[in-house]
Structures are given as structure tokens and as C-alpha cells.
Structure 1
Amino acid sequence: MTLDLDHLTWSVDGRRILDAVDVAAPAGALTGLLGPNGAGKSTLLRLVSGVLAPGAGRVTLGGQDLLALPRRARARRVALVEQESTVPASVTVREAVLLGRTPHASHWGGLTARDHAVADAALAEVDATALAHRLLVTLSGGERQRVHLARALAQEPALLLLDEPTNHLDVHAQLDTLAVVRRLTARGVTVLAALHDLNLAATACDHLVLLDAGRVVAAGSVHDVLRPEVLEPVYRVRCTVLLHPRTGRPVLTFDPADGPPPGGTADVTPDVPDTRRPPP
């Protein structure tokens, strides 16, 4: 299902955080939400999920107004993984993942065999089955991130929202997480993910949206958005874009905007001979 944001606006204390944002995230694709700190990425995800109420604008998924749905019905369609998710300290990993089944639970009964099967499959999907009986508070930041992703998968959403899903993860775990997301999109799930690492976005995303100061400044394919003339004024850096020899996707390198030009020579301290006496 395609996610459409129409003139989404949000302000706090009279300050405009998102300003008439129009976004179309294609169905069954990974759309990367890019932008510097303070661009409005996390706020946008919270508005789409219904955690925050927009001052103006509409959010539709497959033509259905998400914000008009009751909270429980919306949670059966949309899952959000925030950078810092909280659950009670005493719960195990498996219990935390089972919380993702809450929107599907019957009003008259507890969890079903299918709920348990879905939770177990979600743990397996993120390679966290071995953690199932651990207390969540005993896990590392990266392990907790995988568990929160499993909890979102247990919701069986049509739309998955991810806020910095590769934060706290080493390179191997980052690639594993993006592989999980790619498997979801192959099954038709629409994913919108806020990402800081532009090279990860170049590697994994089908579509990109670039925010700056609460406005959309570019949207399109990785080749359309990850261009020096687009990125440099937003991130205030010099950018060089190469092409990966195997995938053909962009590979980016950066230099400070006020530093020497790429290939130039910076001022460096000349080598000075070491005149200290060696130890006896």
C-alpha cells in the first residue's frame, strides 16, 4: 500500500517543525527519510504513526485515512520502532515481542496459539530466538534494537516506520537489519525509515526523501537524491559521489565545507626529527 502525506504540518511553541510536507512512499518499497539533525525526521514518523496529532494535513495508506482510525485499528496497520523504546523492566524478550500482538488480541480472551507462533517467527526473523528468555534489561543496545524490531514485526503491519533502525549496531548487524527490512518489502510491506548514514541509504533504499528544516527538498531514486548539488547545501559539506563497481549504486565521501577541496593539500605541521635520547 502506498503511503501518502499531504501537506503535513506540525508546530510547537509557535515554531514550525514540519512545514506542509508532501511525501509519497511507494508500496512494498523501502523509503529512506534523510536529513540533518533537527530536520524533522522523527517528528514526521511520530505524526504518521499517530503518536502526535498534526496541526494540518492528511496521512493515508492505500487511500485510507490513518489518523481517522481508532488507535487499536491503526496499530493493526502501522508499527513504529523508535530510537528509544520502553517496556517494563521485568519482562523477558519473548514477552516484549508478544506485546506486538496486543492490537490483534480478542477483547474476551488472551493470546492464542497463533499469537505465540507469530511472536516466535518474528524473533527468528531478526535472529533473536536465543534471547527469548533473557530479561530485556540485560541486553546490549543493539540486541534491544533487534527485539523492538521483532515486536513491530509481530504486529504484522502493512506499514513499518523505523527511526534510526541501525543505531547502536555494528556493520554486520546493520546489514542484517536491512536484510530483514528488504525481506519485508518483498512480501509487500511498505517501509519508511529515518536514516543518518547516507551510504547505508544508498545501499538499501528504493526511494529517498530528503528533509531540511521541516521541508522536503528532494525526493526520488537514490541516483536522483544522492547528488552533490542536492546534498551539499543541506548538510553543509563537500560531497563526492562514486559508483559501486558491483552494484552501480552511489558511494559517498565527504569533506568539511570549509576544508581543502578534494584532492587538495591541507595545511599540516611539517615533520620534525625526534631528538629525544633513546632509553639506556
Structure 2
Amino acid sequence: MNEAILEFNSLRFAYQQGSALVLEDFSMQIGRGGVVAVLGPNGTGKTTMLMLALGWLTPAAGTIKLLGQPLAQYARRELGQKISLVPQFEPTFFDFSLIDFALLGRAPYLGSFSMPGPQDYEIARQALAKVGMAEKAERSVMNISGGEHQLVLLARSLAQQTELMLLDEPTSHLDIKNKSRLLAILRELVAEGKTIVFTTHEPDVAAMIADSVIMVKGGRVMHAGRVADVMTGKNLSEIYDTRIEAGEYAARRVFLWD
């Protein structure tokens, strides 16, 4: 494995003391570069894992390291320059233009009372161009489609210029065209040196783009490794509690279930 960029060691987490554990003895290691899919059914702790990686939640036990350093040792602004999130959904309460929305990704680089400068605007424009939204830069974020909104969330993350990008169920609300478009952009980002970690409950999406997969169930890591090695019918059937068969068609891994 490449040098680890993100490590979870024996994490335990519950949202309230005494309540059921969301993550239990959760350990994983993400190597630098490439795409890692965290795959599992809904309600199994995938989004919670991302919140912990961002430092937005604190584990009850265990350790998290980013680039070999304990997460707790990073200042908030420094952390925002190293790791970013594309959420599954984010309600919009303000009538931002797309360029202003993308500019929010520059916050970790600005002082408390600083305004974005020409370089920040250029970075935001480049981020919108990367996702194919540059021509709509002055349009309101409230007047775009759901698929376009997902791309703008990605643009904001790109403007943040972090090496590690986390995406929470990035394709769950997309049609086939926008799903293909998003996955193509992620491939380009990896070629440019980014590390991508995304959660999904869709085995086909994981197999289409991921280099490796971490399969989770009940707040635990069940299997981890290369897609071809761990995304077997047996393992998937165990994760999803239903019979699943894995095969190949047109040089792609495909999955059939009852």
C-alpha cells in the first residue's frame, strides 16, 4: 500500500452516551492516491465515519491519523486545507451565485475578516470549469437542477484544494448521464494526484471507479482490499443479507441479486 493518508484505529462511537454504538472496533487505512469506496447498506455508519475523519465528531475510543499525525493536533484551518467533503445533500438557504458558492471553498485560506482576492476567484472559476459549470457561474444556486447542484458541491470542494477529498454517496441522486459525468471527473482528479474516498451503497458504482473497497456492516469493517479480490458474491451477500452473484460483462464487474 502507498503511504497512508488517513488511518482509523479501533474507533468506537455513539451519538449519545449509553446509546447503541454506530461504529465499533472500526479500523481502516487509506493509502495515498487512487479511489477508495466505503461500501455498505444504509445506516451502517458510513456518513458517521466521514464526520469523524473531518474532525466534526470525536470518537469515544480509538485514534484517527491524517498524514501520520493525530487528527486532534491539527488546527481547524490547517485541517480544512488538507481534507474536504462533498456531502450527499446540502440545503441552500442563501441566494448565492455559483461562483460565490464555489468561493466558500477558499475559507480555510482566508483570515477571519479577509475577503477573497483575485487568485481566490480564479481558483473558484477553474473549479467550476472542471465540473462543466463555468458558463453558469453567475446563475443562482437555487435555480439549478439536482445533478448540477451535486457538481457545484464538488466544485466547492475543488476550490478548497485539498489532497484528500471525501464524498458521501455522490451518485445517489444522479441520473445515468450525470453519474457518468461525475465518475469521469473523479478519474481525472485521481490522475492529477488527489486521493478520493467515497461512500456508497451501490456495488456497481464502487466497481466502476474504485481501486480498492472497504466493506462495512453494523459499524464494523468486514472486508477490505482490491475490488476484484473482495467484491465477491459471497462477501456482498454477507453485507447486504441477500443473495448476490458477481460476474463479468463487457470487461466490467456486474452484480445480480434476488
TM-score over 0.5 for the pair: yes
Corresponding residue number in structure 2 for 1:105: 110
Corresponding residue number in structure 2 for 1:53: 58
Residues 98-126 of structure 1: CA distance to partner in whole angstroms, max 9, x if unpaired? Answer: 00001012456421221111101110111
Moved over 4 A (4+): none
Number of residue pairs matched by the alignment: 253
Question: Match for 1:231 among 229, 236, 246?
Answer: 236
Residues 234-270 of structure 1: CA distance to partner in whole angstroms, max 9, x if unpaired? Answer: 2122112111333xx4211111xxxxxxxxxxxxxxx
Equivalent AA in structure 2 for residue 96 of structure 1 = F
Residues 201-254 of structure 1: CA distance to partner in whole angstroms, max 9, x if unpaired? Answer: 1010001001100000000011122111111122122112111333xx421111
Corresponding residue number in structure 2 for 1:160: 165
Structure 2: give runs of 5+ residues left out of the alignment.
Answer: none
| Structure 2: distance between partners of 1:87 and 1:73 | 26
Corresponding residue number in structure 1 for 2:246: 241
Corresponding residue number in structure 1 for 2:75: 70
Corresponding residue number in structure 2 for 1:203: 208
Question: Match for 1:11 among 6, 11, 14?
Answer: 14
CA change 1:251–1:120 in 2 (3 A) is same
| Structure 2: distance between partners of 1:66 and 1:127 | 34
Question: Match for 2:198 among 178, 193, 197?
Answer: 193
Give the stretch that moved more between structures: 144-153 or 1-10: 1-10
Equivalent AA in structure 2 for residue 7 of structure 1 = S
| Structure 2: distance between partners of 1:124 and 1:180 | 11
Percentage of pairs with the same residue: 35
Structure 1: give runs of 5+ residues left out of the alignment.
Answer: 256-280
TM-score normalized with structure 2 length: 0.93
Higher Cα Rg, which structure: 1
Residue 92 of structure 2 contacts residue 142 of structure 2 at CA under 8 Å; is this kept in 1?
Answer: no
Corresponding residue number in structure 1 for 2:147: 142
Question: Match for 1:2 among 2, 5, 11?
Answer: 5
State the secondary structure of the residue aligned to 2:58: coil
RMSD between aligned residues: 1.5
In the TM superposition, what is the alpha-carbon distance from 1:63 to its structure 2 partner?
A: 0.8
TM-score normalized with structure 1 length: 0.86
Map 1:168-187; keep pairs closer than 5 Å: 168-187=173-192
Corresponding residue number in structure 2 for 1:253: 256
| Structure 2: distance between partners of 1:78 and 1:86 | 21
In the TM superposition, what is the alpha-carbon distance from 1:33 to its structure 2 partner?
A: 0.6
CA change 1:175–1:59 in 2 (3 A) is same
In the TM superposition, what is the alpha-carbon distance from 1:87 to its structure 2 partner?
A: 4.4
